[in-house]
Structure 1
Amino acid sequence: MSEQMEGFHNHFRLTWNQLWGACSGTGKRPAGLSARQMIMMGLQFCSQLDFHHSIEEQHIFPVLAKKMPEFRKELDLLKQHKQIHAGLEKLEAYLDSCRTGEEDMRREEVKRLMEGFGKVLWQHLDEEVQTLKADNMRKYWSVEEMRRLPM
């Protein structure tokens, strides 16, 4: 499970790093992307991460929470989702206003919004994968039970 999750999370890390790089001191867009392409990349990032977390919260975490305290609503992984989504909503709203032409895209504003939830996002991406590693999963699940898990 951790390897599958790591694959999804690496996609989010890659996109984050491309957006972050475009907003940092170099002043260059990643791979020659236009401002519109950067906006769309950011909006896709927000949408995909939201969708990923929705699947986890609706289909994966409830099953894991039956035996694993890390996935219960009152604990860190789900609290992190809420913090990440608060930041995602702000970033998405800003990028959408740039997409519609209501605002001009300012890289420093995108970076400021990303800074608002970046630390918790990266922590979450790492901790979730660690929690799903075999040595931890073996504490709670048999091999047969693992085969039936929704991932």
Structure 2
Amino acid sequence: MNANIEQAHQSPSRPLEANEPVAKTEELPKLSAQEFRVYNSMAEHMNYFHEHFRQTWNLLYTAASSGARPAGMSIRAYLNTGEQFAHHLTVHHTIEERHIFPVLARKMPAFREELELLTQHTQIHEGLVKFEKYIEECKSGERELQMGEVKGIMDTFGTVLWTHLDQEVAQLGAENMRKFWTMNEMRQMPM
């Protein structure tokens, strides 16, 4: 569970006195349409890539679960799609870790190494390594493609991948970003 969520649900260290004021969360003013676009730009950009990963995952996983490739898709095309999926996701995470997350981590705890989003990258990568190795062995002829085996490998990292795709976009959403960044800072973000 996200550390911020855990903290929000912890009880105070001491009971409140009867007349003691309860801390109120500051209500932020409503964003204009333009402000929303600026603050939401990273979420939209990220979701564009994530949607591609979701669609490719669904194509690969549906075939692996049913035991049948999509109509008109050869074994070679299926393996190439799997290989491209793994490569593109690895490149995507590498760019995030080197260029995006360090900037965001300056003000946003969720993007710091010790927290959930980077831990998820590690877990996803472990599954991707197995997936890529299997695909490579099938492409080279060392192994025969077995859809049940593909499904089994995908099952090892599917839940964390889908959780990650959603959580990362949520962290980059306008209402969260405005808590940490000014409009000018948003315009200078690396995405």
Q: TM-score surpassing 0.5?
A: yes
Q: Tell me the SS of whatever aligns to 2:157.
A: helix
1:39 match:
79
Cα deviations by residue, 1:105-146 (Å, 9 ceiling, x for unpaired): 110000000000000000000000000000000000000000
1:133 aligned to 166, 169, 173, which one? 173
Moved over 6 A (4+): none
Task: Give unpaired runs (5+ residues) of structure 2.
Answer: 1-41
User: Between Structure 1 and Structure 2, which shows a larger proportion of helix residues?
Assistant: 1
1:88 aligned to 128, 131, 144, which one? 128
Q: Tell me the SS of whatever aligns to 1:38.
A: helix
Count how many residue pairs are aligned between Structure 1 and Structure 2: 150
**Matched residue type, 1:8:** F
1:75 aligns with 2:108: no
2:157 match:
117
1:48 match:
88
- Normalising by structure 2, report the TM-score: 0.77
2:52 match:
11
1:101 match:
141
- Normalising by structure 1, report the TM-score: 0.98
Cα deviations by residue, 1:66-101 (Å, 9 ceiling, x for unpaired): 000000000000000000000000000000000000
The CA RMSD measured in Å over matched residues stands at 0.7
1:31 positional shift: 3.6
Task: Give unpaired runs (5+ residues) of structure 1.
Answer: none
Bigger radius of gyration: 2
